Copies of this chain bind each other. A is one copy, B any other.
Protein backbone atom coordinates (compact mmCIF):
# COMPACT_ATOMS: atom_id res chain seq x y z
CA UNK A 1 0.00 0.00 0.00
CA UNK A 2 1.15 3.48 -0.69
CA UNK A 3 -0.40 5.09 2.31
CA UNK A 4 -1.73 4.50 5.76
CA UNK A 5 -5.46 4.91 5.95
CA UNK A 6 -7.68 4.48 8.95
CA UNK A 7 -10.25 1.72 8.82
CA UNK A 8 -13.09 4.20 9.08
CA UNK A 9 -11.78 6.09 6.13
CA UNK A 10 -11.44 2.87 4.17
CA UNK A 11 -15.09 2.10 4.71
CA UNK A 12 -15.99 5.64 3.77
CA UNK A 13 -13.92 5.52 0.63
CA UNK A 14 -15.36 2.23 -0.47
CA UNK A 15 -18.76 3.82 -0.35
CA UNK A 16 -17.61 6.42 -2.81
CA UNK A 17 -19.41 5.79 -6.05
CA UNK A 18 -19.74 7.07 -9.56
CA UNK A 19 -23.43 7.94 -9.25
CA UNK A 20 -23.95 11.30 -10.86
CA UNK A 21 -26.41 12.84 -10.50
CA UNK A 22 -26.96 11.04 -7.23
CA UNK A 23 -30.46 9.63 -7.07
CA UNK A 24 -32.94 11.47 -4.88
CA UNK A 25 -33.65 8.31 -3.01
CA UNK A 26 -30.81 5.92 -2.45
CA UNK A 27 -29.98 3.17 -0.05
CA UNK A 28 -26.79 1.26 -0.34
CA UNK A 29 -24.98 -1.42 1.56
CA UNK A 30 -21.37 -2.47 1.83
CA UNK A 31 -21.50 -5.90 0.24
CA UNK A 32 -19.25 -6.77 -2.65
CA UNK A 33 -21.15 -8.06 -5.64
CA UNK A 34 -19.68 -9.21 -8.92
CA UNK A 35 -21.16 -9.08 -12.36
CA UNK A 36 -21.37 -12.63 -13.68
CA UNK A 37 -19.43 -13.47 -16.81
CA UNK A 38 -22.73 -14.15 -18.53
CA UNK A 39 -24.53 -11.18 -17.08
CA UNK A 40 -27.30 -9.94 -19.31
CA UNK A 41 -30.15 -7.53 -19.43
CA UNK A 42 -33.62 -9.02 -19.69
CA UNK A 43 -36.34 -6.90 -21.18
CA UNK A 44 -39.69 -7.91 -19.82
CA UNK A 45 -41.68 -5.72 -22.24
CA UNK A 46 -43.74 -6.58 -25.29
CA UNK A 47 -42.62 -4.87 -28.48
CA UNK A 48 -39.94 -2.75 -26.93
CA UNK A 49 -39.01 0.31 -28.99
CA UNK A 50 -35.80 -0.04 -30.98
CA UNK A 51 -34.07 2.85 -29.29
CA UNK A 52 -34.60 1.17 -25.93
CA UNK A 53 -33.08 -2.10 -27.09
CA UNK A 54 -30.21 -0.12 -28.60
CA UNK A 55 -29.71 1.68 -25.31
CA UNK A 56 -29.55 -1.67 -23.54
CA UNK A 57 -26.98 -2.88 -26.07
CA UNK A 58 -24.88 0.20 -25.39
CA UNK A 59 -25.21 -0.35 -21.65
CA UNK A 60 -24.01 -3.92 -22.06
CA UNK A 61 -21.10 -2.75 -24.16
CA UNK A 62 -20.11 -0.25 -21.49
CA UNK A 63 -20.18 -2.89 -18.77
CA UNK A 64 -17.92 -5.09 -20.84
CA UNK A 65 -15.45 -2.38 -21.71
CA UNK A 66 -15.40 0.21 -18.99
CA UNK A 67 -12.52 -0.82 -16.82
CA UNK A 68 -12.46 1.92 -14.24
CA UNK A 69 -10.64 0.84 -11.12
CA UNK A 70 -12.15 2.28 -8.02
CA UNK A 71 -10.53 5.62 -7.28
CA UNK A 72 -8.96 4.86 -3.94
CA UNK A 73 -5.23 4.73 -3.33
CA UNK A 74 -4.97 0.96 -3.72
CA UNK A 75 -7.37 1.02 -6.68
CA UNK A 76 -9.46 -1.63 -5.00
CA UNK A 77 -6.71 -4.18 -4.39
CA UNK A 78 -7.96 -4.72 -0.86
CA UNK A 79 -11.21 -6.01 -2.36
CA UNK A 80 -9.46 -8.89 -4.07
CA UNK A 81 -9.95 -11.40 -1.33
CA UNK A 82 -13.53 -10.45 -0.73
CA UNK A 83 -14.31 -10.71 -4.43
CA UNK A 84 -13.37 -14.36 -4.52
CA UNK A 85 -16.26 -15.13 -2.24
CA UNK A 86 -18.65 -12.49 -3.49
CA UNK A 87 -21.97 -13.34 -5.07
CA UNK A 88 -22.46 -12.82 -8.78
CA UNK A 89 -25.26 -10.92 -10.42
CA UNK A 90 -26.56 -12.65 -13.53
CA UNK A 91 -29.24 -10.33 -14.72
CA UNK A 92 -31.06 -7.04 -14.62
CA UNK A 93 -34.71 -7.25 -15.61
CA UNK A 94 -36.30 -4.14 -17.11
CA UNK A 95 -40.05 -3.80 -16.87
CA UNK A 96 -42.79 -1.22 -16.93
CA UNK A 97 -44.83 -0.54 -13.83
CA UNK A 98 -48.24 -2.19 -13.76
CA UNK A 99 -50.20 0.96 -14.50
CA UNK A 100 -47.72 2.41 -16.97
CA UNK A 101 -49.02 3.73 -20.28
CA UNK A 102 -48.13 1.99 -23.54
CA UNK A 103 -44.44 2.18 -24.09
CA UNK A 104 -43.19 4.63 -26.72
CA UNK A 105 -39.69 5.22 -28.07
CA UNK A 106 -37.26 7.12 -25.84
CA UNK A 107 -37.00 9.64 -28.67
CA UNK A 108 -40.72 10.33 -28.49
CA UNK A 109 -40.78 10.72 -24.74
CA UNK A 110 -37.70 12.94 -24.71
CA UNK A 111 -39.53 15.64 -26.62
CA UNK A 112 -42.84 15.50 -24.77
CA UNK A 113 -44.15 18.60 -23.04
CA UNK A 114 -41.76 19.26 -20.20
CA UNK A 115 -44.12 18.39 -17.41
CA UNK A 116 -45.59 15.41 -19.24
CA UNK A 117 -42.32 13.54 -19.21
CA UNK A 118 -41.96 10.74 -16.72
CA UNK A 119 -38.27 10.12 -16.09
CA UNK A 120 -38.82 8.25 -12.85
CA UNK A 121 -37.53 4.77 -12.22
CA UNK A 122 -36.87 2.33 -9.42
CA UNK A 123 -33.82 0.11 -9.29
CA UNK A 124 -33.09 -2.75 -6.95
CA UNK A 125 -29.77 -4.56 -6.96
CA UNK A 126 -29.89 -7.30 -4.31
CA UNK A 127 -26.71 -8.46 -2.64
CA UNK A 128 -27.46 -12.16 -2.81
CA UNK A 129 -26.93 -12.69 -6.51
CA UNK A 130 -30.61 -12.74 -7.40
CA UNK A 131 -31.57 -10.66 -10.41
CA UNK A 132 -31.66 -6.93 -10.21
CA UNK A 133 -34.81 -5.14 -11.29
CA UNK A 134 -35.39 -1.84 -13.03
CA UNK A 135 -38.90 -0.52 -13.29
CA UNK A 136 -40.31 2.68 -14.73
CA UNK A 137 -43.42 4.19 -16.24
CA UNK A 138 -41.80 4.94 -19.57
CA UNK A 139 -38.90 4.02 -21.80
CA UNK A 140 -37.32 7.32 -20.79
CA UNK A 141 -37.49 6.29 -17.15
CA UNK A 142 -35.98 2.91 -17.97
CA UNK A 143 -33.21 4.73 -19.85
CA UNK A 144 -32.45 6.93 -16.85
CA UNK A 145 -32.35 3.86 -14.60
CA UNK A 146 -30.09 2.04 -17.02
CA UNK A 147 -27.65 4.93 -16.70
CA UNK A 148 -27.71 4.70 -12.93
CA UNK A 149 -27.08 0.95 -13.08
CA UNK A 150 -24.07 1.51 -15.32
CA UNK A 151 -22.48 3.81 -12.77
CA UNK A 152 -22.27 1.16 -10.05
CA UNK A 153 -19.48 -0.98 -11.43
CA UNK A 154 -15.73 -1.01 -11.09
CA UNK A 155 -13.00 -3.27 -12.39
CA UNK A 156 -10.32 -5.29 -10.68
CA UNK A 157 -8.28 -7.30 -13.12
CA UNK A 158 -11.25 -8.19 -15.24
CA UNK A 159 -13.68 -8.73 -12.40
CA UNK A 160 -16.53 -6.25 -12.62
CA UNK A 161 -17.96 -5.46 -9.23
CA UNK A 162 -19.70 -3.02 -6.97
CA UNK A 163 -18.94 -2.32 -3.32
CA UNK A 164 -22.37 -0.97 -2.47
CA UNK A 165 -24.80 -3.86 -2.66
CA UNK A 166 -27.63 -4.00 -1.98
CA UNK A 167 -28.65 -0.87 -3.88
CA UNK A 168 -32.20 0.40 -3.66
CA UNK A 169 -33.38 3.40 -5.62
CA UNK A 170 -37.05 4.02 -4.95
CA UNK A 171 -38.68 6.17 -7.53
CA UNK A 172 -35.80 8.41 -8.41
CA UNK A 173 -36.96 11.31 -10.54
CA UNK A 174 -35.59 14.72 -11.42
CA UNK A 175 -36.31 17.81 -9.37
CA UNK A 176 -36.59 19.79 -12.63
CA UNK A 177 -37.41 18.65 -16.17
CA UNK A 178 -35.12 21.08 -18.01
CA UNK A 179 -31.52 20.04 -17.39
CA UNK A 180 -29.15 20.94 -20.11
CA UNK A 181 -26.18 22.32 -21.86
CA UNK A 182 -25.95 25.19 -24.33
CA UNK A 183 -23.43 25.20 -27.17
CA UNK A 184 -22.64 28.09 -29.53
CA UNK A 185 -21.70 26.73 -32.95
CA UNK A 186 -21.44 30.10 -34.64
CA UNK A 187 -18.40 31.74 -33.10
CA UNK A 188 -16.59 28.52 -33.81
CA UNK A 189 -17.78 25.48 -35.68
CA UNK A 190 -18.16 22.08 -34.05
CA UNK A 191 -18.38 19.03 -36.30
CA UNK A 192 -21.25 16.59 -35.92
CA UNK A 193 -19.06 13.98 -34.27
CA UNK A 194 -17.99 16.40 -31.55
CA UNK A 195 -21.59 17.31 -30.87
CA UNK A 196 -22.49 13.63 -30.64
CA UNK A 197 -19.69 13.05 -28.18
CA UNK A 198 -21.05 15.95 -26.13
CA UNK A 199 -24.51 14.37 -26.25
CA UNK A 200 -23.02 11.12 -24.97
CA UNK A 201 -21.61 12.95 -21.99
CA UNK A 202 -24.88 14.75 -21.38
CA UNK A 203 -26.86 11.53 -21.48
CA UNK A 204 -24.47 9.95 -18.99
CA UNK A 205 -25.53 12.56 -16.44
CA UNK A 206 -29.20 12.33 -17.36
CA UNK A 207 -29.44 15.69 -19.06
CA UNK A 208 -32.68 16.35 -20.91
CA UNK A 209 -31.96 19.34 -23.13
CA UNK A 210 -29.43 20.54 -25.66
CA UNK A 211 -29.85 24.25 -26.33
CA UNK A 212 -28.25 24.68 -29.73
CA UNK A 213 -27.23 28.31 -30.35
CA UNK A 214 -26.59 27.50 -33.96
CA UNK A 215 -26.20 30.94 -35.59
CA UNK A 216 -24.84 34.32 -34.59
CA UNK A 217 -23.03 37.27 -36.08
CA UNK A 218 -19.71 35.62 -36.83
CA UNK A 219 -20.96 32.76 -38.96
CA UNK A 220 -24.10 31.05 -40.20
CA UNK A 221 -23.39 27.33 -40.35
CA UNK A 222 -27.00 26.22 -40.57
CA UNK A 223 -27.98 24.83 -43.95
CA UNK A 224 -31.61 25.45 -44.74
CA UNK A 225 -33.10 23.85 -47.84
CA UNK A 226 -35.34 26.84 -48.57
CA UNK A 227 -32.57 29.37 -47.89
CA UNK A 228 -29.33 27.71 -48.97
CA UNK A 229 -27.61 31.03 -49.53
CA UNK A 230 -27.52 31.78 -45.81
CA UNK A 231 -24.94 29.06 -45.13
CA UNK A 232 -23.41 29.16 -48.58
CA UNK A 233 -22.33 32.74 -48.00
CA UNK A 234 -22.43 32.95 -44.22
CA UNK A 235 -20.60 29.85 -43.01
CA UNK A 236 -16.89 30.00 -42.30
CA UNK A 237 -16.36 27.49 -45.11
CA UNK A 238 -18.40 24.93 -46.99
CA UNK A 239 -17.22 22.26 -44.61
CA UNK A 240 -18.14 24.24 -41.54
CA UNK A 241 -21.85 23.79 -42.06
CA UNK A 242 -24.69 21.64 -40.77
CA UNK A 243 -26.70 20.25 -43.64
CA UNK A 244 -30.37 19.53 -43.04
CA UNK A 245 -29.36 15.87 -42.79
CA UNK A 246 -26.73 16.74 -40.18
CA UNK A 247 -29.37 18.53 -38.15
CA UNK A 248 -31.68 15.52 -38.27
CA UNK A 249 -28.81 13.24 -37.37
CA UNK A 250 -28.03 15.29 -34.29
CA UNK A 251 -31.66 15.64 -33.27
CA UNK A 252 -32.27 11.92 -33.62
CA UNK A 253 -29.05 10.92 -31.85
CA UNK A 254 -29.99 13.21 -28.99
CA UNK A 255 -33.58 12.06 -28.71
CA UNK A 256 -32.54 8.41 -28.58
CA UNK A 257 -30.50 9.43 -25.56
CA UNK A 258 -33.31 11.23 -23.83
CA UNK A 259 -32.27 14.71 -24.96
CA UNK A 260 -34.53 17.32 -26.53
CA UNK A 261 -32.72 19.61 -28.94
CA UNK A 262 -33.95 23.20 -28.65
CA UNK A 263 -32.53 25.24 -31.48
CA UNK A 264 -31.96 28.96 -31.18
CA UNK A 265 -31.78 31.40 -34.08
CA UNK A 266 -30.96 34.50 -32.11
CA UNK A 267 -32.64 37.62 -33.45
CA UNK A 268 -33.00 40.49 -34.15
CA UNK A 269 -29.51 41.08 -32.76
CA UNK A 270 -26.66 38.68 -33.33
CA UNK A 271 -27.51 38.35 -37.01
CA UNK A 272 -24.63 40.02 -38.85
CA UNK A 273 -23.89 36.78 -40.70
CA UNK A 274 -27.16 37.13 -42.59
CA UNK A 275 -25.63 40.13 -44.34
CA UNK A 276 -23.28 37.89 -46.30
CA UNK A 277 -26.21 36.65 -48.34
CA UNK A 278 -28.89 39.25 -47.58
CA UNK A 279 -27.28 42.62 -46.94
CA UNK A 280 -30.64 44.23 -47.53
CA UNK A 281 -31.96 42.79 -44.29
CA UNK A 282 -29.13 43.85 -42.00
CA UNK A 283 -28.43 47.22 -40.38
CA UNK A 284 -24.99 48.49 -39.30
CA UNK A 285 -23.09 45.51 -40.71
CA UNK A 286 -19.42 45.68 -39.67
CA UNK A 287 -19.99 49.10 -38.19
CA UNK A 288 -17.78 51.00 -35.78
CA UNK A 289 -18.15 52.82 -32.52
CA UNK A 290 -21.20 52.35 -30.39
CA UNK A 291 -23.08 50.20 -32.85
CA UNK A 292 -20.64 47.46 -31.96
CA UNK A 293 -21.39 45.16 -29.08
CA UNK A 294 -19.34 42.13 -29.93
CA UNK A 295 -17.94 42.56 -33.42
CA UNK A 296 -19.02 42.28 -36.11
CA UNK A 297 -22.07 44.42 -35.63
CA UNK A 298 -25.16 43.71 -37.65
CA UNK A 299 -28.82 43.29 -36.77
CA UNK A 300 -31.97 42.43 -38.70
CA UNK A 301 -33.88 45.48 -39.92
CA UNK A 302 -36.76 44.83 -37.61
CA UNK A 303 -38.88 47.69 -38.88
CA UNK A 304 -38.82 46.33 -42.40
CA UNK A 305 -41.77 44.28 -43.57
CA UNK A 306 -39.60 42.50 -46.12
CA UNK A 307 -37.12 41.58 -43.42
CA UNK A 308 -39.87 40.40 -41.13
CA UNK A 309 -41.35 38.22 -43.83
CA UNK A 310 -37.97 36.83 -44.68
CA UNK A 311 -37.37 36.02 -41.02
CA UNK A 312 -40.79 34.46 -40.51
CA UNK A 313 -40.30 32.19 -43.50
CA UNK A 314 -36.79 31.30 -42.46
CA UNK A 315 -37.76 30.49 -38.88
CA UNK A 316 -40.66 28.42 -40.15
CA UNK A 317 -38.44 26.51 -42.53
CA UNK A 318 -36.12 25.62 -39.68
CA UNK A 319 -38.49 25.07 -36.79
CA UNK A 320 -41.01 23.02 -38.72
CA UNK A 321 -38.42 20.31 -39.23
CA UNK A 322 -37.50 20.03 -35.57
CA UNK A 323 -39.49 17.79 -33.24
CA UNK A 324 -38.98 19.87 -30.09
CA UNK A 325 -41.94 21.67 -28.59
CA UNK A 326 -39.69 24.68 -28.07
CA UNK A 327 -37.86 27.12 -30.29
CA UNK A 328 -35.54 29.84 -29.02
CA UNK A 329 -35.61 33.20 -30.75
CA UNK A 330 -32.90 34.86 -28.73
CA UNK A 331 -33.48 38.57 -28.32
CA UNK A 332 -30.41 39.45 -26.26
CA UNK A 333 -28.21 42.50 -26.59
CA UNK A 334 -30.27 44.42 -29.09
CA UNK A 335 -28.08 47.40 -29.93
CA UNK A 336 -30.11 50.59 -30.18
CA UNK A 337 -27.51 52.94 -31.70
CA UNK A 338 -27.41 50.49 -34.61
CA UNK A 339 -31.06 51.19 -35.38
CA UNK A 340 -30.81 54.86 -34.54
CA UNK A 341 -28.13 55.24 -37.19
CA UNK A 342 -29.82 53.09 -39.81
CA UNK A 343 -31.59 55.40 -42.19
CA UNK A 344 -33.78 52.67 -43.60
CA UNK A 345 -34.95 51.64 -40.15
CA UNK A 346 -35.61 55.23 -39.16
CA UNK A 347 -37.64 55.75 -42.30
CA UNK A 348 -39.65 52.62 -41.72
CA UNK A 349 -40.31 53.47 -38.12
CA UNK A 350 -41.41 56.92 -39.12
CA UNK A 351 -43.65 55.64 -41.87
CA UNK A 352 -45.37 53.21 -39.54
CA UNK A 353 -45.51 55.70 -36.70
CA UNK A 354 -43.69 53.42 -34.30
CA UNK A 355 -40.92 53.80 -31.79
CA UNK A 356 -38.08 51.33 -31.78
CA UNK A 357 -39.59 49.61 -28.76
CA UNK A 358 -42.91 49.34 -30.60
CA UNK A 359 -41.14 47.70 -33.49
CA UNK A 360 -39.27 45.32 -31.23
CA UNK A 361 -42.58 44.33 -29.68
CA UNK A 362 -44.19 43.83 -33.07
CA UNK A 363 -41.23 41.80 -34.22
CA UNK A 364 -41.36 39.50 -31.22
CA UNK A 365 -45.14 39.11 -31.48
CA UNK A 366 -44.93 38.23 -35.13
CA UNK A 367 -42.06 35.76 -34.84
CA UNK A 368 -43.51 34.14 -31.78
CA UNK A 369 -47.01 33.86 -33.22
CA UNK A 370 -45.63 32.27 -36.36
CA UNK A 371 -43.79 29.71 -34.23
CA UNK A 372 -46.89 29.04 -32.19
CA UNK A 373 -48.80 28.42 -35.39
CA UNK A 374 -46.51 25.47 -36.08
CA UNK A 375 -46.76 24.16 -32.55
CA UNK A 376 -43.66 25.70 -30.98
CA UNK A 377 -43.41 27.47 -27.66
CA UNK A 378 -40.99 30.39 -27.83
CA UNK A 379 -38.00 30.90 -25.55
CA UNK A 380 -36.14 34.21 -25.18
CA UNK A 381 -33.18 35.68 -23.34
CA UNK A 382 -34.00 37.76 -20.26
CA UNK A 383 -33.80 41.18 -21.93
CA UNK A 384 -37.02 40.46 -23.73
CA UNK A 385 -38.67 40.38 -20.32
CA UNK A 386 -36.66 42.88 -18.35
CA UNK A 387 -35.29 45.46 -20.74
CA UNK A 388 -37.88 45.95 -23.40
CA UNK A 389 -41.29 47.46 -23.08
CA UNK A 390 -43.01 44.62 -24.85
CA UNK A 391 -45.68 42.19 -23.84
CA UNK A 392 -44.80 38.54 -24.08
CA UNK A 393 -47.52 35.95 -24.15
CA UNK A 394 -47.63 33.83 -21.07
CA UNK A 395 -46.33 30.61 -22.59
CA UNK A 396 -42.99 32.26 -23.26
CA UNK A 397 -39.97 30.97 -21.36
CA UNK A 398 -37.06 33.23 -20.42
CA UNK A 399 -33.43 32.30 -19.92
CA UNK A 400 -31.89 34.32 -17.11
CA UNK A 401 -28.28 34.88 -18.12
CA UNK A 402 -26.86 38.25 -17.15
CA UNK A 403 -26.90 37.47 -13.46
CA UNK A 404 -28.51 34.95 -11.15
CA UNK A 405 -29.90 37.96 -9.32
CA UNK A 406 -32.23 38.67 -12.20
CA UNK A 407 -34.28 35.54 -11.73
CA UNK A 408 -36.43 37.17 -9.09
CA UNK A 409 -37.33 40.01 -11.46
CA UNK A 410 -38.33 37.62 -14.20
CA UNK A 411 -40.36 35.54 -11.76
CA UNK A 412 -42.08 38.70 -10.55
CA UNK A 413 -43.46 39.05 -14.08
CA UNK A 414 -44.84 35.52 -13.85
CA UNK A 415 -42.59 34.28 -16.65
CA UNK A 416 -41.28 30.72 -16.66
CA UNK A 417 -37.55 30.54 -16.13
CA UNK A 418 -34.60 28.46 -17.24
CA UNK A 419 -31.56 29.36 -15.15
CA UNK A 420 -28.53 30.15 -17.31
CA UNK A 421 -26.71 32.75 -15.22
CA UNK A 422 -23.22 33.82 -16.22
CA UNK A 423 -22.09 34.11 -12.63
CA UNK A 424 -22.56 30.39 -12.06
CA UNK A 425 -23.03 28.62 -15.34
CA UNK A 426 -21.00 30.23 -18.09
CA UNK A 427 -18.24 27.78 -18.98
CA UNK A 428 -16.27 30.28 -21.06
CA UNK A 429 -15.40 32.85 -18.39
CA UNK A 430 -12.00 33.47 -16.92
CA UNK A 431 -9.58 32.93 -19.75
CA UNK A 432 -8.90 36.50 -20.64
CA UNK A 433 -10.49 38.65 -23.24
CA UNK A 434 -10.72 37.28 -26.74
CA UNK A 435 -10.05 40.50 -28.55
CA UNK A 436 -6.36 40.32 -27.84
CA UNK A 437 -5.38 43.12 -25.63
CA UNK A 438 -7.20 42.27 -22.48
CA UNK A 439 -4.88 41.40 -19.66
CA UNK A 440 -6.96 38.66 -18.16
CA UNK A 441 -10.37 40.14 -17.69
CA UNK A 442 -13.08 38.51 -19.70
CA UNK A 443 -16.40 40.19 -18.93
CA UNK A 444 -17.65 37.40 -16.77
CA UNK A 445 -14.43 36.64 -14.90
CA UNK A 446 -13.54 34.69 -12.92
CA UNK A 447 -13.53 31.10 -14.15
CA UNK A 448 -16.63 29.32 -12.89
CA UNK A 449 -15.39 26.22 -11.17
CA UNK A 450 -17.50 23.10 -10.89
CA UNK A 451 -17.86 23.85 -7.21
CA UNK A 452 -19.28 27.29 -7.97
CA UNK A 453 -21.87 25.83 -10.33
CA UNK A 454 -22.68 23.07 -7.85
CA UNK A 455 -23.70 25.57 -5.20
CA UNK A 456 -26.32 27.25 -7.37
CA UNK A 457 -29.71 27.55 -5.73
CA UNK A 458 -32.58 27.47 -8.26
CA UNK A 459 -34.96 28.90 -5.69
CA UNK A 460 -32.85 31.81 -4.42
CA UNK A 461 -35.21 34.77 -3.97
CA UNK A 462 -38.05 32.78 -5.51
CA UNK A 463 -41.16 32.64 -3.40
CA UNK A 464 -43.12 29.46 -2.81
CA UNK A 465 -45.85 30.66 -5.13
CA UNK A 466 -43.30 31.28 -7.86
CA UNK A 467 -41.51 27.95 -7.61
CA UNK A 468 -43.65 26.45 -10.35
CA UNK A 469 -42.09 28.94 -12.79
CA UNK A 470 -38.65 27.33 -12.49
CA UNK A 471 -38.23 24.77 -15.27
CA UNK A 472 -34.60 23.99 -14.59
CA UNK A 473 -31.28 25.22 -15.91
CA UNK A 474 -28.19 24.72 -17.99
CA UNK A 475 -24.52 25.45 -18.25
CA UNK A 476 -23.40 27.31 -21.35
CA UNK A 477 -20.40 27.33 -23.62
CA UNK A 478 -19.96 30.41 -25.75
CA UNK A 479 -17.40 29.57 -28.39
CA UNK A 480 -15.36 32.73 -29.03
CA UNK A 481 -12.48 30.96 -27.38
CA UNK A 482 -13.39 27.35 -27.85
CA UNK A 483 -13.62 24.81 -30.57
CA UNK A 484 -13.63 21.07 -31.03
CA UNK A 485 -10.07 20.83 -29.75
CA UNK A 486 -10.97 21.98 -26.26
CA UNK A 487 -14.68 21.10 -26.13
CA UNK A 488 -14.13 18.27 -23.70
CA UNK A 489 -11.89 19.98 -21.15
CA UNK A 490 -13.89 23.19 -21.22
CA UNK A 491 -17.19 21.41 -20.73
CA UNK A 492 -16.46 18.39 -18.59
CA UNK A 493 -16.76 17.66 -15.87
CA UNK A 494 -17.97 21.15 -14.96
CA UNK A 495 -21.24 20.82 -16.86
CA UNK A 496 -22.07 17.85 -14.68
CA UNK A 497 -22.55 20.19 -11.74
CA UNK A 498 -25.85 21.55 -13.02
CA UNK A 499 -26.90 18.01 -13.93
CA UNK A 500 -26.94 17.24 -10.22
CA UNK A 501 -28.30 20.64 -9.19
CA UNK A 502 -31.38 20.09 -11.34
CA UNK A 503 -31.84 16.33 -10.99
CA UNK A 504 -31.03 15.74 -7.33
CA UNK A 505 -32.24 19.09 -6.08
CA UNK A 506 -31.42 20.79 -2.79
CA UNK A 507 -30.93 17.71 -0.66
CA UNK A 508 -28.67 14.72 -1.13
CA UNK A 509 -30.28 11.33 -0.46
CA UNK A 510 -28.71 11.08 2.99
CA UNK A 511 -30.35 14.34 3.98
CA UNK A 512 -27.29 16.55 3.57
CA UNK A 513 -27.90 19.97 2.08
CA UNK A 514 -26.34 19.89 -1.38
CA UNK A 515 -24.93 23.42 -1.31
CA UNK A 516 -23.54 22.98 2.18
CA UNK A 517 -21.86 19.77 1.07
CA UNK A 518 -19.47 21.90 -0.96
CA UNK A 519 -19.72 25.36 0.50
CA UNK A 520 -19.88 24.33 4.12
CA UNK A 521 -17.54 22.62 6.49
CA UNK A 522 -18.99 19.14 6.32
CA UNK A 523 -15.84 17.29 5.33
CA UNK A 524 -17.54 13.96 4.96
CA UNK A 525 -20.09 15.33 2.56
CA UNK A 526 -17.45 17.25 0.65
CA UNK A 527 -15.33 14.14 0.30
CA UNK A 528 -18.33 12.22 -0.93
CA UNK A 529 -19.24 14.73 -3.63
CA UNK A 530 -15.64 15.07 -4.71
CA UNK A 531 -15.33 11.33 -4.98
CA UNK A 532 -18.38 11.05 -7.17
CA UNK A 533 -17.44 13.77 -9.59
CA UNK A 534 -13.91 12.41 -9.90
CA UNK A 535 -15.35 9.01 -10.71
CA UNK A 536 -17.48 10.65 -13.36
CA UNK A 537 -14.48 12.20 -14.98
CA UNK A 538 -12.46 9.04 -14.87
CA UNK A 539 -15.26 6.91 -16.22
CA UNK A 540 -15.70 9.09 -19.26
CA UNK A 541 -12.12 8.52 -20.21
CA UNK A 542 -11.72 6.10 -23.02
CA UNK A 543 -9.48 3.88 -21.06
CA UNK A 544 -8.32 3.30 -17.55
CA UNK A 545 -5.17 4.84 -16.22
CA UNK A 546 -3.57 1.43 -16.23
CA UNK A 547 -4.15 0.77 -19.88
CA UNK A 548 -2.93 4.21 -20.78
CA UNK A 549 0.31 3.76 -18.94
CA UNK A 550 0.67 0.35 -20.54
CA UNK A 551 0.52 2.04 -23.90
CA UNK A 552 3.18 4.41 -22.80
CA UNK A 553 5.42 1.54 -21.86
CA UNK A 554 4.86 0.18 -25.32
CA UNK A 555 6.07 3.51 -26.66
CA UNK A 556 2.91 4.27 -28.50
CA UNK A 557 1.54 7.74 -28.71
CA UNK A 558 -0.36 8.25 -25.49
CA UNK A 559 -4.02 7.90 -26.31
CA UNK A 560 -5.95 11.06 -26.03
CA UNK A 561 -8.76 10.25 -23.74
CA UNK A 562 -12.31 10.65 -24.78
CA UNK A 563 -12.81 13.32 -22.21
CA UNK A 564 -9.95 15.46 -21.17
CA UNK A 565 -10.79 17.30 -18.04
CA UNK A 566 -10.75 20.96 -17.36
CA UNK A 567 -7.72 22.40 -15.69
CA UNK A 568 -9.75 23.31 -12.68
CA UNK A 569 -9.84 19.68 -11.91
CA UNK A 570 -8.07 17.89 -9.16
CA UNK A 571 -6.44 15.08 -10.92
CA UNK A 572 -5.11 12.95 -8.15
CA UNK A 573 -8.30 12.23 -6.30
CA UNK A 574 -7.26 8.69 -5.62
CA UNK A 575 -4.69 10.10 -3.21
CA UNK A 576 -5.85 13.49 -2.07
CA UNK A 577 -9.08 12.21 -0.60
CA UNK A 578 -7.17 10.79 2.31
CA UNK A 579 -5.74 14.21 3.06
CA UNK A 580 -9.00 16.01 2.92
CA UNK A 581 -9.62 15.90 6.60
CA UNK A 582 -6.16 17.29 7.19
CA UNK A 583 -6.93 20.56 5.50
CA UNK A 584 -9.82 22.01 7.46
Contacts and interface: CB of A to CB of B under 8 A. Distances in A.
A519 interface: yes
A188 B482 CA distance: 26
A575 B219 contact: yes
A434 B570 contact: yes
A546 B292 CA distance: 31
Interface string A182-200: 0000011001111000000
A304 interface: no
A583 B188 CA distance: 19
B557 A193 contact: yes
Interface string A424-458: 00001011111111111100011111111001000
A565 B490 CA distance: 11
Interface string A553-565: 1010110110011
SS class of chain A's interface: helix, strand, loop or mixed? Answer: loop
A227 interface: no
Contacts of A76: none
A270 to B, nearest CB: 14
For chain A, which range describes its interface: under 10, 10 to 19, 20 to 34, or 35 or more residues? Answer: 35 or more
A309 interface: no
B455 A449 contact: no
Given A430-B447, A431-B449, A440-B452, 16 more contacts: A3-B276, A218-B576, A239-B549, A287-B582, A292-B582, A292-B583, A431-B566, A437-B518, A437-B519, A437-B520, A437-B584, A440-B447, A446-B447, A480-B572, A484-B548, A566-B567
B445 A439 contact: no
A571 B432 contact: no
Contact of A447 (B194, B431, B452): B431
Nearest to A286: B582
A552 B483 CA distance: 14
A436 B527 contact: yes
10 contacts: A240-B549, A296-B579, A430-B446, A435-B580, A436-B451, A436-B518, A437-B520, A446-B446, A483-B572, A484-B558
Interface of A: 2-4, 75, 187-188, 191-194, 218-219, 233-237, 239-240, 276, 286-288, 292, 295-297, 428, 430-441, 445-452, 455, 479-486, 489-490, 518-521, 526-527, 529-530, 541, 546, 548-550, 552-553, 555, 557-558, 560-561, 564-572, 574-576, 579-584
Contacts of A580: 435-436
A-B pairs, top 7 by smallest CB distance, nearest first, are: A431-B568, A432-B449, A560-B560, A295-B579, A191-B552, A239-B549, A483-B571
Given A431-B568, A572-B236, A436 B526 contact: yes
Nearest to A292: B582
Contacts of A75: 237
Contacts of A432: 447, 449-452, 568
Contact of A482 (B296, B519, B571): B571
A570 B194 contact: no
A541 B425 CA distance: 30
The residue among A75, A571, A584 with the most chain B CB atoms within 10 A of its own CB is A571
A434 to B, nearest CB: 4
The residue among A295, A445, A572 with the most chain B CB atoms within 10 A of its own CB is A572
Contact of A566 (B445, B484, B486): B486
Nearest to A571: B483
Nearest to A191: B552
Nearest to A75: B237
Given A439-B452, A485-B564, A486-B565, A2 B558 contact: no
A501 to B, nearest CB: 14
A564 B566 contact: no
Given A292-B582, A436-B451, A558-B194, A567 B490 contact: yes
The residue among A433, A485, A583 with the most chain B CB atoms within 10 A of its own CB is A485
A151 B439 CA distance: 27
B486 A2 contact: no
